[in-house]
Amino acid sequence: MSAMPPNTAPSSLRAFGSQLVRGVVPSLAVYFGLRAFGAVPYIALCVTVVFSASYLVFEMVRGRGADPLLLALIVFGGTGALVSFVSRDVRYAQLSSLPPGTVVSVCALASVFTSKPLTLFITEKYWPNLSVSALRARGWEAPDIDGYLRAHARTTLVCALLELTQILVVLAAIFTCSADVAQLFIEVGGPATTFLIVVFAVRRIRGASRAHEAATAEGRSQSVDDMPVGQGS
């Protein structure tokens, strides 16, 4: 459970990557710092969950906004930590990090079969200039919009499958590796996969938009070149 600040819309991929790093490093420092001082894994992880949850709550109160996904992380993380503390089994706390991502992945898969794939919803929220209404205002026709929506559907499908694959890898690590190795998979592998998914999605969607704009501009240029001499003046 990384201490990710809620309700932040990074202005670039570099800013998003920096935000992920800022969320991961404190949690890693707390967990492995406690392990270095001799704390058993379940105690170290319970303290880490409390630290991360406290940070998230503080940020949400300061920002006066609640993010449903982060609230789910706090609830699942807190529940898993409590069960781990009582049972002295670190795996419960580690498993509690998986349900939010699983739910998002399943919802993303379901959205592929709707008129608004998840990547389109996120695009319209953070990049309004790439929303369907904005593209229509720039002269995109119905076939172009349909192709754009198909690009979103394919992108959402790939992103959901990548996230589900990452969840399966973490699940395998929890039951086959040591607690420390599994925690590395959770704290580092999860955000790294998220970053790769975002990079892939942003480049695919921006690429689809730019390809259409370039084709349109080339078509207009070709039309001008084909005009008879003296026409249009």
Those residues whose C-beta lies under 8 Å from the C-beta of residue 80, and which sit 6 or more positions away, are 49, 92, 93, 94, 95, 96, 97
Q: How far apart are CA 187 and CA 178, in angstroms?
A: 14
Instruction: Per residue of the chain (233 residues), give pLDDT as tens.
Output: 665 554 455 556 777 778 778 778 888 999 999 999 999 999 999 998 888 888 777 777 776 566 676 777 778 778 888 888 888 888 888 888 888 888 889 999 999 988 789 888 888 887 888 888 888 888 888 888 888 888 899 999 999 999 999 999 999 999 999 999 999 988 888 888 888 888 888 888 888 777 777 766 665 555 444 545 445 44
Q: What's the whole-model pTM score?
A: 0.76
CB 120 within 8 A of CB 152: yes
What value does the mean pLDDT of the chain take?
Answer: 81
Per-residue DSSP letters for 124-166? HHH-GGGSHHHHHHTT--HHHHHHHHHHHHHHHHHHHHHHHHH
pLDDT of residue 229: 46
Exposed, middle or buried by CB within 10 Å (0-12, 13-18, 19+), for 42? buried
Nearest CA among 191, 13, 201 for reference residue 108: 201
Exposure letters 88-98 (e unless 16+ CB within 10 A, then b): eebbbbbbbbb
Q: What is the pLDDT of residues 11-25, one digit of tens each?
A: 567 777 787 787 788
Q: How far apart are CA 203 and CA 201, in angstroms?
A: 6
Nearest CA among 125, 115, 126, 79 for reference residue 99: 79
Q: Which two tokens stand for residue 85?
A: 């503390």
Q: What is the pLDDT of residues 45-90, one digit of tens each?
A: 999 888 888 877 777 777 656 667 677 777 877 888 888 888 888 8
Contacts of 34-38 with C-beta under 8 Å, sequence gap 24+, read 35/180
First to last CA, the chain: 65
pLDDT of residue 66: 63
Nearest CA among 195, 123, 191, 189 for reference residue 156: 123
